A = this chain, B = another copy of it.
Amino acid sequence: MPNDSSEFVQALREAGLKVTQQRVALLATLMESTDHPNAEEIFVRVRALDDSVSLATVYRTLSTLEEAGLVQRLTFENEPARFEITPASQHDHLVDVDSGEVIELPSEELNRIRQDLADRLGYEIVSLHSFIRARKKPTVS
């Protein structure tokens, strides 16, 4: 039985989901990840904590947690989806087209403007998926 005092356990309970060791392991893995891993990478990392987890469960759990709002799916171009724990405030992502590195771009200003635009059209925002593909500029001498 997983550690009941964990913050993940509470989050799962609140979402009305059963607390399984696989889900706790996955949430723990994602919480510790500072990058934005894809399902395969998460699979490898989770197995370090619990080697009974299958790839199918990783996919299923990620979808479940996404639906519950605990996890966010990042859909970039020409690559498998990446995932992150749902951040406190939405942010854009800058993707280095050469290295594949992802940099988070927190900006209240961007969020505010998008909010306004959606408002004006009579929409409420469900989620944001913004990535800017960019290349490092040669450093100016």
Which residues of A are at the interface with B, using a C-beta cutoff of 8 A?
Answer: 73, 75-77, 92, 94, 96-97, 103, 105, 107, 109-110, 113-114, 117-118, 121-137, 139
**Cβ-defined contact, B77 with A130, below 8 A:** no
Known A110-B113, A113-B107, A117-B105: A129·B133 in contact at CB below 8 Å: yes
The minimal Cβ–Cβ distance linking A110 to chain B, given in whole angstroms, is 6
- Roughly how many angstroms separate A123 CA and B139 CA in the complex, as a whole number? 10
The minimal Cβ–Cβ distance linking A58 to chain B, given in whole angstroms, is 17
**Cβ-defined contact, B130 with A134, below 8 A:** no
Which residue of B96, B105, B128 is within 8 Å of A132 (Cβ)?
B128
Residue of B nearest to A129 (CB): B131
Which residue of B96, B109, B124 is within 8 Å of A137 (Cβ)?
B124
